[in-house]
Amino acid sequence: MDFKRRLFQQLLDWKKSTDRKPLIIRGARQVGKSTLVTQLGRTYSHFITLNLEKKEYKRIFENIERTSDILNAIFLQTNTPKNERETLLFIDEIQESPKAIQQLRYFYEEYPELHVIAAGSLLEFAMREVASFPVGRVRQIVLHPFDFGEYLLALDLENAAEELNKIPAEDYAHSTLLKHFNDYAVIGGMPEAIKRFVEQKTMANLPEIYDDLWQSYREDVEKYAQNVKERNVIRYIMETAASEKDRITFAGFANSNYSAREVGEAFRSLDRARIIQLIYPFTGHQPPIVPDIKRKPRLQFLDTGLLNHALGHQGQMVGIENLHSFFSGKIIQHLVVQEVMAQFPSPMFKPMFWVREKANSSSEVDLVLQAGKHIVPIEVKSGKQGRLRSLHQFMDHADHPYAVRLLANHFSVEEVKTPAGTLFYLMNLPYYLASKLPEYIQWFFEKY
């Protein structure tokens, strides 16, 4: 069963490029990297897949030095006609061989007509072992779990996907899109969960799928722990992190006796694996948008479906019409950030929120995005209304009049005045449009 992924068009563009570099697709395990490349492979005359978890393929890169000999061995071992121009070479699980990562440079320099894609789920760990990473000789992109638009296409809801792409959104589509989005909020964006739901039309088997995924993630990351203590800390974090309601402190995390250093190192390993990422705040109002890593971060799980499972409340969510009020709004905030992350395939992209912390007061805006020369504040409200105190404080110092609020209402734009007298435009977006934030912000700039 093939699903349509937005990144596929970028792969087609890469294939046609005259300055094509070997492509590394990064992302957590089981987000669909191999499936996506296999779909692209069908557009070539010859498609070679080397999974480096298999010793016979890993040995090619470990035991052979010359690039020409490596390539000859690949064609020979896979019984493929030697035709670089019409061949896609896919090196899967490339993190298993640092030498294979280094070899990408020489494929680019010596065999530019050969199309090469590599993928791996724990590349950040493997890169520590690479003697000379091919900087400037490779292109890197990240594949995330399915966003809402991809979910609709997976369920063959073409009409709903078409309505999602309209800017601005039509009022008549609101209730239908919100209903589908509520289901998506329960299921999440992991391909295996969506595939099972498509096949069986039930959410009953979700716990089994997420149990297997969570266990495999834990085993993966524990392999890269530096010692037994770090392995234990990683295990503890994965068992408790879902219940932390907002920003975290490393020292004594989740009522443990672990030190800030121990917890920090474990979280950085989980962050590199893209399983639980650290999201830091931004404290300014103008570009460049830079995280303040001295302040307390938030946690962002790979997928909201995984978060729901870790919290043990997926069953309670099924059939609930107003998910915006569930779990104090944490789930919808998490899902909005996940949707935004899926729109940015760059490995360098990290979402950020905004804080202003003073002795007697503090303000916090859920998300900020840089759009051109502006930093746009985005609030995620757990109901149909919601106070705007922090948003007002941001806008009092902003150099533009644009702000966004995501909530359960229909699409609208209104003019708002802060208590200090600053006028600005507030764009109200229904939650299901979170994946369209970059396009809506651009539309906002052009219309107001």
Between 31-40, 144-153, 225-234, the lowest mean confidence (pLDDT) is in 225-234
Assess whether 260 and 301 both reside in one domain. Answer: yes
Q: Specify whether the CB–CB gap between 213 and 190 falls below 8 A.
A: yes
Helices assigned H by DSSP within 144-173: 148-154, 158-164
Tell me the pLDDT tens digit for each residue of 13-33.
Answer: 999 998 999 999 999 999 999
Chain mean pLDDT for the chain: 92
User: Does 361 map to a domain?
Assistant: yes
Could you list the residue range(s) of the whole structural domain that residue 316 is in?
148-348
Pick from 150, 71, 174: nearest CA to 339: 150
Q: Greatest CA separation found in the chain?
A: 73
Average pLDDT over residues 96-100: 92
Q: What's the pLDDT score for residue 27?
A: 93
Residue 384 has pLDDT above 70, yes or no: no
Last residue of a domain, one of 99, 127, 142: 142
- How long is the chain? 448
Tell me the pLDDT tens digit for each residue of 117-140.
Answer: 999 888 877 776 676 778 889 999
Tell me the pLDDT tens digit for each residue of 147-198.
Answer: 999 999 999 999 999 999 999 999 999 999 999 999 999 999 999 999 999 9
User: Does 1 map to a domain?
Assistant: no
Pick from 368, 404, 380: nearest CA to 283: 368
Residue 208 has pLDDT above 50, yes or no: yes
- Which position has the higher pLDDT, 223 or 238? 238
Interatomic CA distance for residues 97 and 57, integer angstroms: 10
Which band of pLDDT confidence, cut at 50, 70 and 90, is reported for residue 315? low
Interatomic CA distance for residues 296 and 115, integer angstroms: 43
Assess whether 304 and 160 both reside in one domain. Answer: yes
Assess whether 273 and 302 both reside in one domain. Answer: yes
Residue 37 has pLDDT above 90, yes or no: yes
User: Does 443 map to a domain?
Assistant: yes
Assess whether 271 and 314 both reside in one domain. Answer: yes
Which band of pLDDT confidence, cut at 50, 70 and 90, is reported for residue 220? confident
Q: What's the pLDDT score for residue 41?
A: 98
Q: What's the pLDDT score for residue 321?
A: 62
Assess whether 158 and 298 both reside in one domain. Answer: yes
The count of structural domains within the chain is: 3
Assess whether 70 and 108 both reside in one domain. Answer: yes
Assess whether 336 and 392 both reside in one domain. Answer: no
Interatomic CA distance for residues 274 and 257, integer angstroms: 25
Last residue of a domain, one of 75, 107, 142: 142
Pick from 301, 255, 256, 298: nearest CA to 275: 301
Q: How far apart are the first and last CA of the chain?
A: 43
Tell me the pLDDT tens digit for each residue of 237-256.
Answer: 999 999 987 899 999 999 99
Query: Edge-to-edge strands of the sheet including 352-357?
Result: 281-282, 352-357, 362-371, 374-380, 402-407, 423-430, 412-417
Which band of pLDDT confidence, cut at 50, 70 and 90, is reported for residue 320? low
Residue 98 has pLDDT above 80, yes or no: yes
User: Does 2 map to a domain?
Assistant: no
User: Does 255 map to a domain?
Assistant: yes
Assess whether 334 and 365 both reside in one domain. Answer: no
Assess whether 340 and 368 both reside in one domain. Answer: no
Interatomic CA distance for residues 418 and 389, integer angstroms: 8
Assess whether 167 and 233 both reside in one domain. Answer: yes
Q: Kindly state the tokens that stand for 252.
A: 């004594």
Interatomic CA distance for residues 293 and 348, integer angstroms: 15
Q: Kindly state the tokens that stand for 350.
A: 């990290």
Tell me the pLDDT tens digit for each residue of 323-376.
Answer: 666 666 788 999 999 999 999 999 999 999 999 987 777 899 999 999 999 999
Assess whether 309 and 254 both reside in one domain. Answer: yes
Average pLDDT over residues 258-286: 94
Last residue of a domain, one of 287, 314, 348: 348
Q: What's the pLDDT score for residue 385?
A: 47
Q: What's the pLDDT score for residue 282?
A: 96
Interatomic CA distance for residues 289 and 120, integer angstroms: 29
- Which CATH number is 78's domain given? 3.40.50.300
pTM of the predicted protein model: 0.94
Pick from 178, 121, 156, 141: nearest CA to 11: 141
Assess whether 338 and 359 both reside in one domain. Answer: no
Query: How large is the angle between the packed helices 7-16 and 33-41, nearest 10 degrees?
Result: 40
Q: Kindly state the tokens that stand for 445.
A: 């700039």
